[in-house]
Amino acid sequence: MIPVNFEGAVTIGKPASMTDEQCSNIYASFGIDESGYRYFLEAWKPSYEDIQAINRGEPIWIKIISSGLPPIAMWTVDENGNCNDQFNIIEPI
């Protein structure tokens, strides 16, 4: 997966202690959703290899480096920019 820069996002640099092979910069915006929860919003684009794996039905793996597991959500948008996940409460940009 490739991190995508988008309107309203800021660049978040990788930790100084990590190499470029271990981590890269990402782009995120910050907000509060309609339920009052603070969130970070990132966008990731699948590579050709990722698309092939998804088409085979392989899962998308997420690695979170943290001492706890924060709630997360992942979704795609349709051709009109509408969320394809009926349970997601964060509106896409």
The tens digit of pLDDT for each residue in 18-43 reads: 888 888 888 999 988 888 888 889 99
Q: Is residue 17 part of a domain?
A: yes
Asked whether residue 4 carries a pLDDT value surpassing 90, the answer given is yes
Write phi, then psi, for 90 (nearest 5 degrees). -100, 125
What lies within 8 Å, CB to CB, of 70 at 6+ separation is 64
- Would residue 20 count as lying in a domain? yes
Q: What average pLDDT score do residues 30-58 get?
A: 91
- Tell which phi-psi region holds residue 81, choosing left (phi > 0), alpha (psi between -120 and 50) or beta: left
Please name the residue that has the structure tokens 């092979």: 21
**In a domain? residue 78:** no
Which position has the higher pLDDT, 5 or 68? 5
- pLDDT, greater one: 32 or 91: 32
In this prediction the pTM is 0.72
Query: Is there a domain that residue 29 lies in?
Result: yes
Give the number of domains in the chain.
Answer: 1
| pLDDT over 50 at 92, yes or no | no
Average pLDDT over residues 9-18: 90
Domain with 10 in it: 2-46
